[in-house]
Structure 1
Amino acid sequence: MIRKGYKPVIGVTMGDPAGVGPEIVAKAAAQGILAKDAHPIIVGDQRLFKRGMEIAKVRVDFQVAATLEEALTMDGIVVLDTRKFDAADLVMGELREECGRDAATNIQTCVQYCRQGLMDGICFAPNNKAAMKKAGFVLHGAIDLLAGFFQFTGNRGELNVLDDVWTARVTSHIPVKDISARLTEEGILNSIHLVNDTLKRAGIAKPRIAVAALNPHGGEGGTCGREEVEVIAPTVEKAKAMGIETDGPFPADTLFIKLFNREYDAAVTMFHDQGQIAMKLKGFDQGVTVMAGLPNPVTTCSHGSAFDIAGKGIANPGAWGNSYGLVVKMAAVDKLARVKEG
């Protein structure tokens, strides 16, 4: 049973030490976001958190723990002090191997605790992929890094969220010229299932999913491209037959009008920028990225480590605060579902 008033245990990492991560985590903590509905445990060096507070010009009361077992007994904001990164001589905005190693290692630690059942979810501040690669971590995106740490090989992907609007993409970090060849029934169905399952984990009982076309005007009945006729539309029908509330394919230039008017909860787009342009234009400082499909909910903000403004105290914590709120909600739904399953 979940005890009355149970708060999910959320592992928090501060992202790349030379980026805006420590600052926005400190700002969110000062706003009271972290401990309101969860038991936050910041995994990292307390000197880095203090540096984040200095940059943000905020003061946050927190406790320091040497072990997770100790951290779980403490109330409020807790820093599980790794004592691995001295921020005293840190040059903000500088790409450094040790920064990438610290960011990745702290995420790995949180994953280990999730696998042991000691944490319910993870929210990480912006990392820098180049720094992580310099440190020897192999990844195309954060989802690859996390899947490796979880030792998870199932259906997974990055979903983007703005307010109550969600998007997924069938293809991601590949050249535009390769998109058409990569569109398959299996790939589209995987994305539809991922969206449907993840929205249920976020508390939406019957997700409404719109699927994008690839070509202008939805292919104009096959006269302006055949992908809609041969692949996308048949896959949408197959998803419907599986009981998933799915419509489309819709021309991409009108699909987002429907989405932002809340006619649908989510859109499955065919390639990266098809959805990202609309979402970031609508709310760049508020967007959330969900690492969907993993055994535990994991989220972050949709923007990066912002080296250009790191250390200036002007970073907006809104997107990361939204990502934290969403992971708390998803972790609570997960916990309740496990209890009901017995």
Structure 2
Amino acid sequence: MDKINKMFGITLGDPCGIGTEITLKSLKSVPKYVNRCILFGSLALLEHYNEMYGYGFKFNKIENTKDFKEGYVNVHDPMNISLDDFEVGKVSANGGKCAFLSVKAAIDFALRKDISSVVTAPLNKEALHLAGYNYAGHTEIFGEFTHGKSYAMLLWSDKLKVIHVTTHMSLRDACDNAKKQRIMDVVHLADETLKKQGYVSPKIAVAGLNPHAGENGIFGREEIEEIQPAVEQCKKEGINVCGPIPPDTVFLKMYNGEYDIVVAMYHDQGHIPLKLLNFDSGVNITVGLDVVRTSVDHGTAFDIAGKNIAREDSMLKAIEIGMKL
């Protein structure tokens, strides 16, 4: 059982996308992972790509870790979806259902301590909703079925690291949810996560919400009433944090080494700079929960699914970071 506990899970995401392809490429690229992971998703699709691209893997279908076999790619298939039930590259309810059930199964394995972390391939939010699962994405699914006082989305790359106060909501709602306590919670999560990665005293920058960080109230009062008080309280608690810093310069300052991570107020504020610099190798981490979850930082890429051209860089980085955490 000790060996099993050192293992990780990979959810294959929406079968209509590139998740299965990049997972098989990752296992081919780093063969030692075969004996350290359990895949969650469509066995039929795995076998299809394995034969099509000549990978030579042998698969073992499992219900639990007692069925695990070394030397095989071990797969838990919660839906037994066949190739006739969906079309690669097309949004479908079956694709969304398969993706959700795979994530839920991986969470159950992790909560039982059968695996130590979960790496997720991309799912499609439209397909998820068509299947009747009204979640905004992976972060919210993990938030629903795991445990933690607070959690946040953290994007990790060698060049830039960003953690988000708000994520999958309208920009109008994001402004309303950038509150002092939430900002403090996210600063704490940033500090704790970087310390787990070896940073002794992480330098944390908190971005402003408004242009020029509000310009002393001229362009908005969120910095004065919510963000600055949160930063000051965290400083009193011994965290190495500063802000609010104008969002149009804070990422450049981090890129130049002044900070180790930026606390972004909303989804695109953090995603745009990171994807500009590290689209292929960025990693999405859900922090603050009792299940470690890392993910590729890209979508299902339906337009190239099934063409064997999707790159596995981000998946390999997600596995690496997940194992460290």
TM-score higher than 0.5 here?
yes
Name the residue aligned to 1:299: 294
**Offset of residue 205 of structure 1:** 3.9
Is 2:17–2:88's contact at 8 Å kept on the other side of the alignment? yes
Are the aligned partners of 2:195 and 2:202 in contact in 1 as well (CA < 8 Å)? Answer: yes
- 2:70 paired with 1:74: yes
Are 1:111 and 2:110 matched, yes or no?
no
* 2:270 counterpart of 1:272: no
2:117 pairs with one of 111, 118, 121: 121
Does residue 46 of the first structure (1) align with residue 54 of the second (2)? Answer: no
Partner of 2:257: 262
- Number of the residue aligned with 1:136: 132
Q: For residue 177 of structure 2, what is the aligned residue in structure 1?
A: 182
| Counterpart-to-counterpart distance in 1, 2:86 and 2:169 | 34
Q: 1:88 to 1:178 in 2, by over 3 A?
A: closer
- The answer as to whether partners of 1:46 and 1:83 remain within 8 angstroms in 2 is no
Within 2, Cα distance between the matches of 1:317 and 1:76? Answer: 20
**CA shift for structure 1 position 116:** 1.1
Is the partner of 1:42 in helix, strand or coil?
strand
- Per the TM alignment, residue 285 of structure 1 is displaced from its structure 2 partner at its CA by 1.4
CA, structure 1 residues 58+263, in 2 after alignment: closer, same or farther (shift >3 Å)?
A: farther
Name the SS of the counterpart of 2:215 in structure 1.
helix
Q: Secondary structure at the match of 2:277?
A: helix
SS of residue paired to 1:279: helix
Question: 1:211 is paired with a residue of what secondary structure?
Answer: strand
The answer (yes or no) to whether the contact 1:44–1:106 under 8 Å persists in 2 is yes
**Alignment pair present for 1:289 and 2:284:** yes
Contact 1:30-1:58 within 8 A present in 2 as well:
no
Which residue of 2 is the match for residue 336 of structure 1? none
Q: Compute the displacement of 1:163 (Å).
A: 2.0
Residue equivalent to 2:18: 20
Range 16-25 or range 63-72, more displaced: 63-72
How much has 1:129 moved relative to structure 2? 1.6
Paired residues of 1:34 and 1:77 also in contact (CA < 8 A): no
Structure 2: gaps (5+ residues): none
SS at match of 1:127: coil
Query: Against the structure 1 CA distance between its residues 208 and 135, is the aligned structure 2 distance closer, same or farther, given a 3 Å change threshold?
Result: same
TM-score by length of 1: 0.86
Measured in 2, the distance between the counterparts of 1:33 and 1:326 equals 17
Task: State the number of aligned residues.
Answer: 325
Residues 1:212 and 2:216 are matched in the alignment: no
Letter in 2 for 1:186: Q
Tell me if the contact between 1:213 and 1:228 (Cα under 8 Å) persists in the aligned partners. Answer: yes
Contact 1:26 1:58 in 2 (8 A): no
Residues in 1 aligned to 2:121 and 2:101: alpha-carbon distance in whole angstroms: 13
Let me know the Cα RMSD of the aligned residues: 2.5
Q: Secondary structure at the match of 1:299?
A: strand
Matches of residues 216-255 of structure 1 in structure 2 within 5 Å? 216-255=211-250
| 3-state SS in 2 of match to 1:222 | coil
| Structure 2 letter corresponding to 1:132 | L
8 Å contact kept, 1:39–1:77: no
Partner amino acid, structure 1, of 2:141: L
Matches within 5 A, 1:46-65: 46-54=43-51, 57-65=53-61
Deviation at 1:248, TM superposition (A): 1.4
Identity of aligned residues (%): 32
Over residues 110-142 of structure 1, what are the superposed CA-to-partner deviations in whole Å (9 max), with x where a residue is unaligned?
A: 111111111111011111122122222121221
Distance 1:183 1:83 in 2: 39
2:43 and 2:80 in contact (8 A); partners too: no
Letter paired with 1:319: S
Unaligned ranges ≥5, structure 1: 331-342
The answer (yes or no) to whether the contact 2:8–2:118 under 8 Å persists in 1 is: yes
* 1:202/1:105 CA distance change after superposition, 3 Å: farther
Partner of 2:27, secondary structure, is: helix
- 2:141 paired with 1:145: yes
Partners of 1:218 and 1:82 in 2: how far apart?
48
Structure 1 residue identity aligned to 2:118: I
Moved more, 283-292 or 192-201: 192-201
